[in-house]
Chain A
Amino acid sequence: MRARSFTDNERFAPSVRSALGVNDFLSRPEHTLPYECDGSTAYRSAPEAVALPRTTEQVAAVVRGCREAGVPFTARGAGTGLSGGATPLEGGVVISLAAMNRVLEVSARERTARCQTGVVNLEISRAAAPFGLFFAPDPSSQSACTLGGNIAENSGGPHCFKLGATTSHILSATVVLEDGAIVELSEDGAAAGLDLLGLFTGSEGTLGIATEATVRLLPLPERVETLLAPFSALVPACEAVSRIVAAGVVPVAMEALDAATIEVVEAGVGAGYPRDAGAVLLLELDGAEAVVAREKREVERILRSSGALEIRTAEDDAERERLWLGRKRAFGAMGRISTDLYVQDGVVPRSRLPEAIAEVERIGRRHRIRVANVFHAGDGNLHPCVAYDGRDPDERKRVMEASHEMLEMCVRLGGALSGEHGVGIEKRDALGMLFGEDDLDAMRRVREAWSRSGLLNPGKVLPLRGGCSEAMGPLPGPGRTAAAVPGAWI
């Protein structure tokens, strides 16, 4: 169902236009087309208009205008999402937070920063650095993605292994509700009402639009050690990860890359990973000098006994950055060597990583597809990346089937359908693989308690009523890949 076009709505357009600056309202198709999708380009649907508000009040005015006109609206940060969250599925208005991109205040004593939500993730740590502080969530897309997108997706990143995902680092948020009311949701604890902020974080833009947030900052560690451990294959590397977790040692990050990823990364950015390795683990330890030294000894012992071919320690910041560059640009590098790329996101218990990875390899072989793995191993968060040719319908079908089997495997091993990319459109109809009808019904009622009109980012997260087909959304068709999103070559 497509909502009626708002541009011919006389009540709406003038009131919204007048709430915004002259250049902050786009309605010509050539201007609105870039907003037709996010990083998952399989789902496209152009908005009728794009609003670029500069204040919370302007966001509220646009929301009220949409409500009055009965037009759907969808918030957008940088559009790097990988599950279709920012795609305006039913058209309407995209409310872009791009112009609300400032760090408003850093308080060193409180260790907090107040930011507009359109701020790019990395800018927060940049603003905090002079005070010896940083913002912990570090998605690989952090040089492009926004705080609002991080909150909406409860994004993670390599360092979330030890420090927790976005939800642990947001203290309060100013949110415009579906009726235009402006509320401050905060982490206020028991008896001050329900944890609305906790529920809002990760709600994929379906409960409201965050315009500002106060985030927690952490002190920069005294010492950082970055280790690279090559293995003959990915399975023993995963065994090492499971053993480190079981030993209770907590590196700040534990990432895994397989041979196929190493190959494209080395060809693309030259991170200095050994090209002949079957897999590498990238580990980081941080904290006080003596603590890091001790953890390093423990981790090295486990790595060696699990078959690490060697253990390299970054000598200086330049080498550390180079090692991380390879990890952070891996998706981008893959995008360059194939016409199409599908990045899957699933989770398994950390103890099951070796069998999960072995199964991912078997599924790939069975369906004759090329799978590369680069993932947050410490959290059990898999990212099988499938390079394919979207022009080939048979290959697309095989990729689709393989992806579905991988998710089934995650569920079978006790895991989840998404660790960080969210449900969006992509996995909306697959939720039934994990949750029963009563579970989904509770979620549905919770959503309706926030958003009765159904105008707020419709068609996302929950299976459409009666449409619980346990299937994933369509696979990215021919054309651009996630890594081809402007600004997302990170």
Chain B
Amino acid sequence: MIGKERTERAEGTERMQKAGKRGRAWAVALAAVVRKEVRQTLRDRRVMFLLIVAPLLQTVILGYAVDFDFENVPTLVVDLDRTATSRMHARRLLADHTLQRQPGGASVTTATAELRSGKAAAAIVLPPGLERDVLAERPAEVQVLLDGTDPNRAMVVASAAARYFGETAEDLLRERLARAHVPPPPVIRAEPRALYNPGLETAPFMMPGVMTMLLVITTTIVTAMGLSREREMGTLEQVLVTPIPPLVLLLGKMTPPLVIGCFDVFLVLTAGVWLFGVPVSGPPAVLAAGTLLYLVCTLGIGLLISSVSKTQQQSFLAGFLFIMPAILLSGVMTPVQAMPAWLRMVTYVNPVRYFIEVLRGNLLKGAGFADLWWRLGALGMIGVIILFVATMRLRKRMA
């Protein structure tokens, strides 16, 4: 009786010791893989460039270049009236610097040629007899010629011109009513006031997009190529005869891109705050959680890619084949609401979509867990599923 108990206890202890020993061996192996990965990453200039310099460059370039705030749009004034009135309208129309007058525009024909050559993006044609018509209180027509190749810019010019002449017409009407001693009619005016990003600037809107794209590009491709490289070099076979379990190997391989991904977020965010005044208005914990979950997704996709491709080249290509549609269908570039219904369905399984929403909500609108929890949940779920499938596939291939 006692003897049996003792052997049972001894067996239990032994089992625990065995498990402890195995756990320790795995920890040692994991540390070895991480050390090796870090050393290789630090030695590989291309990877370091991809992970550190490229994000900074892209932040700065995209931040400055992708700017939908149109100012000083080159504009021709074709003044066919040549009167005090026409000159006054031309001056006042240009006063808020949305439009900038370009030399030229002697006639409608030359203006058209100049629009075609790209010297100007719009031409305001003030017709002959403008002053006479206005003084005689007859209708007058001002023509706005637009270069429509850039629809956004064309819209900006059109609305600036429409607003100005609309207000001018309203002023004329008031004057006329005042002269006739009629009280002015009631006016309903819409007064837009942006609650978030009050200046309606592009950079704060774009910066989350830049972060989202950077992370998916760098971490997915680096992870996908990392494993293919080992396969190609034959080192994978050498690693597989060691007692390292495949899961420990994969965990170790994911660590450096995970750390660098977090670092990239920090880097880009700092640059965004400092250079472009991106607000950080939400709780940082949500930002951190979102970033981590998103990285789990992007790394998992990298592993998944390396489980289906044989060479580094295949991995690289597959990475881009995934990234392109993932970004286009995320709402980074164009709003998800504007997509056809069937495409919108696809965005529900796209981790990029959830992360951009978390970032924009958190950074620009100050949204916290209460607003973003289901997106974080979706990210987590997608990440876990992808990671699970990828490791199962890889374990099978490695065994």
Q: Do A and B actually bind? A: no
Interface residues of B (CB under 8 A from A): none
Interface residues of A (CB under 8 A from B): none
